[in-house]
Amino acid sequence: MRNIRLFWQIFPTCVGITIFSLVLAAWLATTTNQAFYIDHLKTDLRNRALLMEPTITSLSSGDMGQLQQFIRQTGRRAATRITLIDAEGLVLADSHENPALMDNHATRLEVAAALAGETGFSLRLSPTLGEPMLYTAIPIVLPHTDHRGALRMALPATAADKMLSALRMKMIGIGLAVVGLAGLLSLYSARKISRPLEEMKAGAEQLTKGRIDQLVKISSDRMSVEMAGLADSINQMAEQINRRIRIIIQQRNELEAVFSSMADSVVAIDADKKIIRMNQAATALFALPSEVVKGKPVQGIIRNAYLLEMIDFTLAQETEHEQKITLFNGTEPIILQTHAIPLRDEDNRSIGVLLVMNDLTKLNRLENIRQDFVANVSHELKTPITAIKGYVETLLDGALEDHDNARRFLDIIARQSNRLDAIVDDLLTLSRIEDANNKHTITLTMNRIAPVLENAVQVCAGHAEKKNIEVQIDCDEHLTAPINQPLLEQAIINLLENAIAYSSVDSRVSLRCCSSRTMQNEEFIHLSVLDNGPGIAKEHLPRLFERFYRCDKARGRDQGGTGLGLAIVKHIAQAHKGSVEVESTLGSGSTFTITLPMADR
């Protein structure tokens, strides 16, 4: 059934009832007035007849011409038709027509009643005058006969029709005014009732659309008690819904923030194996935009057979499943600790699968680095300790008596002790730098770079003179940057010592400093140490800054290095929010470059 607006249910009904009432009232008034007027005319005609009865009775005993003359004159003066009829229905006299030409009136209703001794009335169209007439006849005794006659009085009924027509016109005018007023009042009342309901509807629609920022508050002023109560109840309901929606939105945003910020990759899949949601870590893992994957079949997004088997198994068995899976990003393996957990609704029915994938690649790499570090540091520490222990045992076994060998052994023990001390010092230095960097306790201040380079060259001057190596400085005196001077100086010293150690005799080492600007208008300082040594093979470059990593282990130990110098340089660069890089070609020397920002970031 078609729904109709409340306005159109109220307004036409009120107007229709008003019109019906007016029509009924007009009909009642018209019929009542017509009946009253006819009754009044009947009484008036009867009274006139009774008043004329004695005169006509007296005249009818004499000359009939005189009677005819009287009736004619009296009827015209009174604007009333007067007719005298004998017992046989013959017209004896008439005020308007020639009696001899008139029909027998014995069958007329009013005449028949009068001849029967009663007062008769009749309203009909007069065939003689051609207009509706009201007839009243009373019995009368004619003197020249013993029979009873009838005296009839008649008036045109058109006067009543005119009066009733005028009354109808007045009633129509009044009715139209009343209908118009009733229509306006009905319109006002209908709008007054429907407008609050429309406002309530608009407020409900805003709630259904989630437009809690544009909530419609319904004013209960000038309303009925019932409507005002309904409006207040809806306002309270809207406020409660608004409050709950805000809480839900806040909770949803919090859950969304947690879901998006999770380091683990999370994929929610429904029972039809279509993706419900993927967090940022998962989209990054599979290199897909998050807005595209929603609603797509999981087979088209995740192309790993083991993951698909886990999804199928969890959907079928409705139990949690855990497995370590390896993906490949190009040629790089990605190791994932994967948990497949059934998704359940409030009735504890399975509705899908939640995949949680923890990337163990970095953890495994760190574990390998830790193992390598432990192995390397153990090896590096064990070498001098073994040497020291061996020569001490030799001395204790009797070599102490051989003065020349004893002195040589003690020199070796001293060198190995110094080497062991240097390793421990470098480990402690590296640990302090890492700890300070993690706690953000390293203080950086704006300083000129040139003095730092000069101090580093002075520290390394003794080593350079032994090999007759010239160290050149090329630096703008005005270049400044936020630095920690002792740490940066240590990094430059480590690079210079390596360059001097691996450069040939009578060669040159260059120390350069320059600035650059990026497309984003960021300025950087580049500190480069260039040597003319044997160079480094390409396969060694990615791991060159790891702890204890050596390209040529035997030569590195012969040079007296601890294997931690470049690792210290890398952590000092990171403490300055910069980086360190190396460029090298076998047989053509090497270039180590520290890049630092010129402004504090």
Pick the CATH number of 262-359 from 3.90.650.10, 3.20.20.30, 3.30.450.20, 3.30.360.10: 3.30.450.20
How far is residue 584's CA from residue 537's CA, in Å, rounded to a whole number? 7
The residue-averaged pLDDT of 307-317 equals: 84
Higher pLDDT, 404 or 515: 515
- Within 8 A by CB and 6+ apart from 190, the residues are 6, 7, 10, 11, 14
The pLDDT of residue 377: 63
The pLDDT of residue 359: 77
CATH architecture of 365-438: Orthogonal Bundle (1.10)
Residue 558 above 60 pLDDT?
no
Q: What is the percent of the chain where pLDDT is above 70?
A: 81
The pLDDT of residue 373: 63
Sheet holding 332-344, edge to edge: 275-278, 265-270, 350-359, 332-344, 321-329
Place of tokens 């993906």: 327
Token pair in block for residue 408: 């040589």
Average pLDDT, the chain: 78
The pLDDT of residue 223: 64
How far is residue 467's CA from residue 195's CA, in Å, rounded to a whole number? 101
Q: Where, residue-wise, is CATH 3.30.565.10 in the chain?
A: 442-597
The residue-averaged pLDDT of 373-390 equals: 68
How far is residue 516's CA from residue 154's CA, in Å, rounded to a whole number? 130
Instruction: For the beta carbon of residue 110, count every other beta carbon within 10 angstroms.
Output: 26
Instruction: List pLDDT tens digits, range 392-414.
Output: 777 777 776 777 777 777 777 77
Phi, psi dihedral angles at 146 (to 5 degrees): -90, 0
Q: Where, residue-wise, is CATH 3.30.450.20 in the chain?
A: 10-163, 262-359
The pLDDT of residue 593: 92
**Closest to 570 measured CA to CA, from 539, 594, 596, 542:** 594
The residue-averaged pLDDT of 373-400 equals: 70
Residue 133 above 80 pLDDT?
yes
Topology of the domain covering 10-163: Beta-Lactamase (3.30.450)
Pick the CATH number of 442-597 from 3.10.20.310, 3.30.565.10, 3.40.50.880, 3.30.460.80: 3.30.565.10
**C-alpha 425 chain-centroid distance:** 61
pLDDT class for 555, splitting at 50, 70, 90?
very low
Higher pLDDT, 227 or 95: 95
pLDDT class for 179, splitting at 50, 70, 90?
confident
Are 448 and 478 in contact by the 8 Å Cβ rule? The answer is yes
Residue 155 above 80 pLDDT?
yes
Of 31-45, 201-215, 289-303, which range is least confident?
201-215
Instruction: List pLDDT tens digits, range 426-446.
Output: 667 766 776 666 666 678 888
Instruction: List pLDDT tens digits, range 187-214.
Output: 777 777 777 777 777 766 766 666 655 5
Q: Where, residue-wise, is CATH 1.10.287.130 in the chain?
A: 365-438
The residue-averaged pLDDT of 465-479 equals: 88
The pLDDT of residue 554: 44
How far is residue 343's CA from residue 315's CA, in Å, rounded to a whole number? 9
The pLDDT of residue 84: 87
The residue-averaged pLDDT of 416-428 equals: 70
The residue-averaged pLDDT of 31-52 equals: 81
Of 177-186, 338-347, 416-425, 463-472, which range is least confident?
416-425
The pLDDT of residue 592: 92
The residue-averaged pLDDT of 85-114 equals: 86
The residue-averaged pLDDT of 132-156 equals: 81
Reported in sequence order, the residue ranges of 3-98 that DSSP labels E, i.e. its strands, are 81-85, 91-94
The residue-averaged pLDDT of 21-40 equals: 77
The residue-averaged pLDDT of 96-124 equals: 86
The residue-averaged pLDDT of 63-67 equals: 76
Residue 242 above 70 pLDDT?
yes
How far is residue 209's CA from residue 199's CA, in Å, rounded to a whole number? 15
Higher pLDDT, 415 or 92: 92
The pLDDT of residue 338: 85
The residue-averaged pLDDT of 332-356 equals: 82
Of 213-227, 308-322, 541-555, 564-578, which range is least confident?
213-227
Instruction: For the beta carbon of residue 333, count every other beta carbon within 10 angstroms.
Output: 11
Are 151 and 49 in contact by the 8 Å Cβ rule? The answer is yes
Residue 88 above 80 pLDDT?
yes
Helices 6-59 and 158-208 cross at an angle (nearest 10°) of 170
